[in-house]
Chains A and B, each alone.
Chain A
Amino acid sequence: MAELIQLSINGLANGSILALAALGFVIIYKATGVINFAQGQFLAIGAYLVYTGVQVFHLPWPLAILLAMAAGVVIGVSVERFVLRPLVGEQAVAVIMVTIGLAAFLQAVVQLIWGTTPLEFPRFIPAGTITLAGATVPVDRLVAIAVAAVLLTAFSWFFRRSRSGIAMRAVADDQQAALVMGISVRRVFALSWALAAVSAVAGGALVANILGVSGDLAAFGLVVFPVVILGGLDSISGTIVGGAVIGLLMTFTARYVGGGLQTVVPFVVVVLVLLTKPYGLFGQARIERV
């Protein structure tokens, strides 16, 4: 029983990190219809920026995170302006490939600036463990779950209630109709990339706190796909459920089946979901007409 709780909490912690990584992805897809393959690199850049703020400039870490978020916003908005905007209306393969190209480019820039050796991340979350119902649970994982829960709730509220959030949903639904209603589609696009960058900095700092900073953080960009496909590409609540399910699935597979099967199980889930319910659990089905 203790082991079950232990595994569940580990799985949920992994899942909440996945959900955080998926959040920026969903924000961009929801508003602009772009699949951002560079989300993992955004995560890595966020972590490196926080690292630089704390280790190199000796800033207190809340300030470092705020500055990293500001830098992330600049990066996100300029990516939208200079890379994605010229491709509005192009076919899907072009939009996918441009973000893949962006991912390769950002990865290389990270390597050029910070090198390839993993760096020790300044821990801002205490490392200890606490005992919960007979299971030892690392504190940082619990904090990760809590931060993810707070951020994800905040973003769902943002999309449901705030003026900008509603404008983003309107643009996602029908760009022309949104334009007619006086919504600036450009501003919404820029805003969505900025928000994605902010969530990436938060997620990156959190992941780096547990795993350390290295270019490998970008690999999270790939594990995100099963999460968003399961939850639905345009659903924030979907990322929570998707993250939890995939996180638990990976942890339990690793423990009870083993053999490296946990790395492939998420992708089997992707194929199954796509074959039976392409829009995921909470995604909005779109009907195509000629």
Chain B
Amino acid sequence: MGTATGLYHRSYAEVLALRQTRAEYARLALLGIALAVAPFVLPPVWLRVACQAGIAAIGAIGLNILTGYTGQISLGQGGFLAVGAYTSAIVVTRMDLPTPVGIVAGIALAALVGAFFGLPALRLKGLYLAIATLASQEIVLWVVRNWSAVTGGASSLLVPAPRVLGFPLRSDFAWYWVIVACGAAAALAATNLFRTGIGRAFVAIRDQDIAAQAIGVDIVRYKVLAFAVSSGFVGLAGALTAHYTRTVQWEQFTLDVSVLYVAMIIVGGLGSVAGSIYGAVFMLVLPAGIQQLGTALRDDFPIITEKLPALQHAAFGLVIMLFLIFEPRGLARCWQRVKDYARLWPFRY
């Protein structure tokens, strides 16, 4: 492997390149092949999980931009998801516009609402900001529940299946490709964001906001921008959820969902785009896996069926705690260690 003695860059372009070694290109190719083959081999249940995980990954990348890279804690993702989902659904059903227009509108409005609820971040940080975003979540959901004329209130909003080239997009198989394409675009956009000055300003604010201000980072602008960009990604995830599930209901966007998203980026790894994806996949595969296991064991242990939701919940809480205690930098760090081990083998370091 070419990396064993280190990397020798000869130009700035090489330093900034996304992939630098042949091994990295090989892994990317393998990932591409795996993604392309997956829908043909996965059983229907897991294909559905894959679609959900892909949508969640987009939202998790958005949240990671805000929390992992900019250091602003948000417990309000559910609210921003709701904004994206409802906007897109309403634009498509009430105004009869094509689905892509709805999705773009969802992204735009989610970014706007996100920027607005990011305003408290100008004065608050840490715990206080977490509580402020928690409040924003409750307020957004209350508006959704009570503004029946527009959102349908407590009842759900039905969305028609979008049409691609005249064919309705309905099956998980078809959706898989759309979601993978959106996910790849989101991952690329987020990775590139952190190769620019804006991304570096975000990281500076996370590391020490007062120091960042002292060296000329416009904190007001970049904090609001971080909220807007992050909520834009989350809005995309929300809009995709709306069209994928074809129903929008306020129960899809409760505080539990916000917590789930924070759990994803913690399990995956704060401040890592790839980590957001690992985390999203992990947090969706975990309950589905327990579900499958429970179904398999149903005949031997009949009691397990009724205890299943509680077991899923317990596993969820336990995973968060164990990761924070034993691997606070998440799956991204675990994977990094595996790669280091392979690269340095047979030496330890």
A residues within 8 Å of B by Cβ? 35, 83, 86-87, 90-94, 96-98, 100-109, 111-112, 222, 225-226, 229, 233, 259-260, 263-264, 267-268, 270-271, 274-275, 278, 288-290
Contact = CB atoms under 8 A, between A and B. Distances in A.
B152 interface: no
Contacts of A86: 325
A76 to B, nearest CB: 16
Contacts of A109: 314
Contacts of A92: 73, 125-127, 130
Interface string B61-104: 00000010001010000000000000000000000000000000
- Dominant SS among interface residues on chain A: helix
Contact of B120 (A87, A98, A107, A271): A271
A105 B138 contact: no
Given A86-B325, A275-B120, A278-B124, A108 B310 contact: yes
Contact of A225 (B131, B146, B210): B131
A90 B139 CA distance: 30
Contacts of A268: 135, 139
A264 B139 CA distance: 6
Interface of B: 67, 71, 73, 119-120, 123-128, 130-132, 134-136, 138-139, 142, 145-146, 208, 210-211, 214, 255, 259, 262-263, 266, 270, 307, 309-314, 316-321, 324-325, 328
Contact of A93 (B139, B262, B321): B262
B328 A90 contact: yes
A266 B135 CA distance: 9
Given A100-B259, A274-B131, A288 B314 contact: no
A241 B126 CA distance: 25
B262 A278 contact: no
B324 A96 contact: no
- Dominant SS among interface residues on chain B: helix
B220 to A, nearest CB: 14
A289 to B, nearest CB: 8
Contacts of B266: 93-94, 97
B210 A278 contact: no
A274 B328 contact: no
- The listed residue with most B CB atoms (<10 A of its CB), out of A104, A233, A264, A268, is A104
A278 B320 contact: no
- The listed residue with most B CB atoms (<10 A of its CB), out of A87, A98, A109, A259, is A98
B139 A290 contact: no
A107 B210 CA distance: 39
A134 B168 CA distance: 66
B314 A112 contact: yes
Contacts of A83: 321, 325
A270 B131 contact: yes
Contact of B317 (A93, A105, A288): A105
B324 A111 contact: no
Contacts of B259: 100, 104
Nearest to B306: A115
A260 B146 contact: yes
Given A90-B328, A267-B138, A278-B123, A108 B317 contact: yes
Contacts of B138: 263-264, 267
A101 B127 contact: no
Contact of A108 (B127, B262, B311): B311
Contacts of B309: 111
Contact of A104 (B136, B211, B307, B313): B313
B131 A105 contact: no
B328 A35 contact: no
B310 A274 contact: no
B275 to A, nearest CB: 14
B76 to A, nearest CB: 11
List of 6 A-B pairs having minimum Cβ-Cβ separation, nearest first: A105-B317, A101-B320, A104-B317, A108-B314, A92-B126, A108-B313
